[in-house]
A and B are shown apart, each in its own frame.
Chain A
Amino acid sequence: MIAYIAAGLLGLLALSIPVGIVLFLLGFGVDQFFSSFPLIRGLGNMVWSSSNSSTLIAIPFFVLLGEILVRSGVAARTYAALDKWVSWMPGGLVHANVATATMFSATSGSSVATAATVATVAMPQAEKLGYDPKLFSGAIAAGGTLGIMIPPSINLIVYGFLTQSSIPQLFLAGLIPGLGLAFAFLVVTAAICVVRPELGGERRVFPLSEMMGALAHLIPIILLFTVIIGSIYKGWATPTEAASVGVAGALVIAAVFGGVSVAMMGEAILGTVKVTCMIMLIVIGASFLNFTLASAGLGRELEAFLGGLGLTPLSTILVIVLMYIVLGFFIETLSLMVVTIPIVVPLVVELGYDPIWFGILMIVLIEMALITPPVGLNLYVVQGARKSGHLNEVMVGAIPYVLVMLAMAIALIAFPSIALFLPEALS
C-alpha cells in the first residue's frame, strides 16, 4: 500500500494534476484496491468535518495579516530597516531576507504567508542590485519556513490539537530552535559568500545614525508580535483566536504607519481567498486520503513495520526522521502532519519521548519539506513572486538551508533541552 501511494503520487503529480486533487484520487484508489468497504460514502463527511474547523480559520487570518502588511507598505519599510542593520555582512541583502523572514515569522502562523510576504518586498531589490538569484531566493524560501517554528504557528496549533498537548507550551518550545535556525541561516549565508563572493551582492555599511533611525520602522512589527503573543500568554485569547487579534493589529498598524484604503483591502482579500483555498483543497484532500489509509490499515502496516525492525528507541526516532525527510519530498506539509501524527506520535510517546519535544522535531522536518522539491510550497511561492528565471534556481538556492535544518534536527535529538528548556523553565 505504501508503495502504491508513493508511485501513484509521483505519477499523478508528474501529469501536473493539482496536488489537492491528486490526494483525492489516491484516496479513491485506496478505497478501490485496498479496502472491501465503501469508504467513498465518507467523502462528504470528511469534506465537511475537515473544513468546519475553528482551528483552521487561523490560516486565512494569518494570510490576510501578511497581505495587509505588504499592501500598506509596512513590510517594505521593515525590510529596508533590517537591510541597514545586516547588509554589512558578506552576502549583503541576502541577510535582510533571513532577518525579515524571522521578524515576520513572529507575527505569522504560516510559512507560506511568511515567504509570500518577504518575497513580495524583497524580489524587486534583488533584480535592482544584481544578486545571484539562486542564493537570494533560496534564502527567502528557507527563511519563510520559520513562520511555523517561531510562534505563533498554525502547524503547532494543529499538532497540539491532534496530540492533545498544550499549544502555548509548544510555542515556547519552538522559540529557541526557531531563533537558532535563523542565526544559523545568517552564519551559513555569510560563510557561503566568503567562499564565493560573487553569490552575494555588495556589502553595504550604513552610518550609525541611519541605523538608529531605521529602528523606528521595526516598531510596527514588534508591536504586532507583542499583541499577538501577549494576548495568548495573558490568557485573553486562545492561540487560534490570536490570529484574529493579529488581523485587527495589522489593520491598526497599517492605518497608523502606512495607509488603509478600500482598494488595498480588496486586493488583500483576493490574495487571502486565493492562498487559503489553495491550502484548503490540499488539507481536505489529505484528510480524505488519511481516512481511507487509516481504514485500510496503514497504521497497522506502519506499526508492524517499525515493530518488526526491533529497534532501540533512538534508532526508531532516526527511522522516523528519515521517513519524514523522504515523505517530505512528495507530500504537502499540513497533510503530512495530519496523516502521520495519529500513527507516529502515540508510538513515540510510548517509547518515552516528550510529545512537546517531538512536535518541535517534526516542525523542523516539516520546514525542510517546505523547501525540498518536487512538492515544496515555499519554493513555488517564491518562484511565483519572481519576474523571470526558472524554478530550479530557487531549489538549488535552498539546498544549503536544507542542510542547516538537518543539522538542527540532529541537534534536537542529541540535546532535547534546546526545545524543552523554555517550557520547563517557565512553568
Chain B
Amino acid sequence: ETLSVVGSWSGLPLHKEYEAPFWSETLPAASGGKIEVELTTHNQMNLGLGDIYPLLGQGVYDVAMTVGDYAVSDAPELEGLDVPMIATDAATARKAVEAARPMVDEIFAERFNSKVLAIAPYPPQVVFCNAEIASLDDLAGKKVRASGRMTAKFLEALGAEGVNVSFSEVPGALQKGVVDCAVTGAGSGYSAGWWEVSTHLLPIPLGGWDPVVTAMNMDKWNGLDADTQALIQSELATKFEAPAWDTAQGALANDIGCLTGQGDCTSGDKRSMTLVEASDADIAKATEILTSEVLPDWAERAGGDWKDRWNASVGAAVGVTIE
C-alpha cells in the first residue's frame, strides 16, 4: 500500500521534527513494510491554502495535514476549533481540541469527504510589539499584523487595527512603525529575528494555537482493512499526536526564555525582550470580548446548531459560554 502524503509547512518544526520522521520512517517500519509513503508538503506543491482539504476530498492525494483554519472558507463552523485566547497553556488547548474532535470529524466527513486521523498543535500565536504595552487593553489603537478571520475580528473588537503584512516583511514593518505589533509563533519570531525590532512580548495566544489537522481521503480510508486502519490510528496517536502535544508547553517556555532571557533557552542566544505577563484582568477582558462579540458573530456565520454544540463541548472544556 503506497500512501501519497501532503505535509504542512516544510520549514516549521512540526513538519521537520514530527511529520516527516513519522510518515517516512515510523509508520512504514511499524507496518512491517506493508505501507509505503510518498511525502511532500503543500508549500512544495504550491497549493492554495484553501485548496488543501478540498483536493484531499477529491482524491488528489491520500493524506493531508495543515492548519484547520485554512479551510474555514468552505466550512465556517470549523473556526470554532481555534478560538483566540481561550487556552493559555498547552494542556487546556489540548482539552479544547479533544472536546472539539467529534465536531471536527463530522465537518471533515461532510465538507471534505475525509477522515480525521490526528490533530496536533503549532506553537501558540503570540504578540510581539515594538511599543510599550502592559496589558491586552494597550493593543487598542495599535496597528497589529495578524492572520485569520477570527483573530482579525477579535482585534477589531479590541479596538486595534488589523494590517496585512507578509511574514517576511514583518521585521521591516515593525522597525518603521508600519505595524506596532505582530502575531506569530514564539519560535518562528525568535528564529526570524523579530526580537531585533520589537521590545515587548505578550506570550498569550492571540492567534490561537493553529491546530494542524491530519486527515485521509474517506474512500481511501474505507478501502483499508480494519487492521491497517487500527495500526495507522494507534501509531499516529502515540507516536505523532502525543509527543507533539507533550513538547508543546516546554517548547513555548523555552522560546519565551530565549526571547526574554527569563528562563532556559536551548535554541540559541538569550535575548532581552520585556516579558508582559498576562493578568487575570486580561483574560477576563478577552473572555468578555469573545462571548459578547466575536463568538456570537461566529455562531451566526456557522449557523445551524453549532453554537449549542460548541458550548456543550469546547465551551464546557474551557469554561466559556456563547450567549
The reply to whether the CB of A167 lies closer than 8 angstroms to some CB of chain B is: yes
CB <8 Å contact, A168 and B59? no
Query: Is B166's CB within 8 Å of the partner chain A?
Result: yes
B165 interface neighbour in A39, A50, A238, A291, Cβ under 8 Å = A238
Contact between chains at A165 and B168 (CB < 8 Å): yes
User: Does B316 sit within 8 A of A, measured CB to CB?
Assistant: no
Query: A128 in the interface, Cβ–Cβ < 8 Å?
Result: no
Q: Which residues on the A side are within 8 Å of B59 (C-beta)?
A: 37-38, 41
Any B CB within 8 A of the CB of A72: no
Known: A37-B4, A38-B59, A45-B54. A291 touches B47 (CB 8 A): yes
- Residues 48-59 of A, flagged 1 when their CB comes within 8 A of B and 0 if not, give 111010000000
**Which chain A residue lies CB-closest to B24?**
A300
**What is the interface size of chain A, counting residues whose CB is below 8 A from a CB of the partner?**
36
Q: Does residue B178 face the partner (Cβ distance < 8 Å to A)?
A: yes
Measured between beta carbons, the chain B residues less than 8 angstroms from A39 are: 60
Given the complex, which residues of B lie within 8 Å of A46, measured CB to CB?
A: 48
A41-B58 CB under 8 A given contacts A295-B40, A346-B11: yes
Chain A residue at minimal CB-CB distance from B166: A161
Question: Which residues on the B side are within 8 Å of A235 (C-beta)?
Answer: 172-173, 176-178
CA distance A37 to B176 in the complex (A): 48
Interchain CA distance A214-B213 in the complex, whole Å: 64
**CB-based contact B48/A300 at 8 Å:** no
| Also in contact, A37 and B61, with CB within 8 A (given A49-B48, A299-B40) | yes
B44→A45 contact, CB < 8 A: no
Chain A minimum-CB-distance residue to B55:
A42
- Whether, in the assembled complex, B38 has its beta carbon less than 8 Å from a beta carbon of chain A, the answer is yes
A160 to B173, CA, bound (A): 15
B124 interface hit (Cβ, 8 Å): no
Q: How far is the CA of A49 from the CA of B45 in the complex (A)?
A: 12
Can you list, as one digit per residue, whether each of A155-169 has a CB less than 8 Å from chain B (1) or not (0)? 000001110111110
Give A80-96 as 1s and 0s: 1 = Cβ < 8 Å from B's Cβ atoms.
Answer: 00000000000000000
Tell me, yes or no, whether B88 is within 8 Å of chain A by CB: no
Once the chains bind, are A338 and B168 in contact (CB under 8 Å)?
no
With both beta carbons as reference points, the residue of chain B lying nearest to A160 in the complex is identified as B168
A42 close to B51 (CB less than 8 A): yes
Among the listed A45, A167, A295, A299, which residue makes an inter-chain contact with B61, where contact means beta carbons less than 8 Å apart? A295
Contacts of B10 in A (CB 8 A): 342, 346
- Decide if B44 touches A299 in the complex (CB within 8 Å): yes
Which chain B residues (50-101) contact chain A, with CB distance < 8 Å?
50-51, 54-55, 58-61
Distance of A37 Cα from B220 Cα, bound (Å) = 12
- Picked from B38, B55, B167, the residue with its CB within 8 Å of the CB of A41 is B55
The digit string for A17-51, where 1 denotes a CB below 8 A from any CB of B, is 00000000000000000001111011001101110
Residue of A166, A234, A291, A346 near B46 (CB, 8 A) is: A291
Q: Which residues of B contact A37 (CB under 8 A)?
A: 4, 59-61
Give 6 nearest A-B pairs by CB, closest first: A49-B48, A235-B176, A294-B45, A45-B51, A342-B44, A235-B178
Known: A39-B60, A239-B169, A299-B44. 18 other contacts (CB 8 A): A36-B2, A37-B59, A38-B60, A42-B47, A42-B55, A45-B55, A52-B48, A164-B167, A166-B169, A166-B172, A167-B169, A287-B46, A294-B44, A295-B60, A342-B10, A342-B45, A343-B44, A346-B11
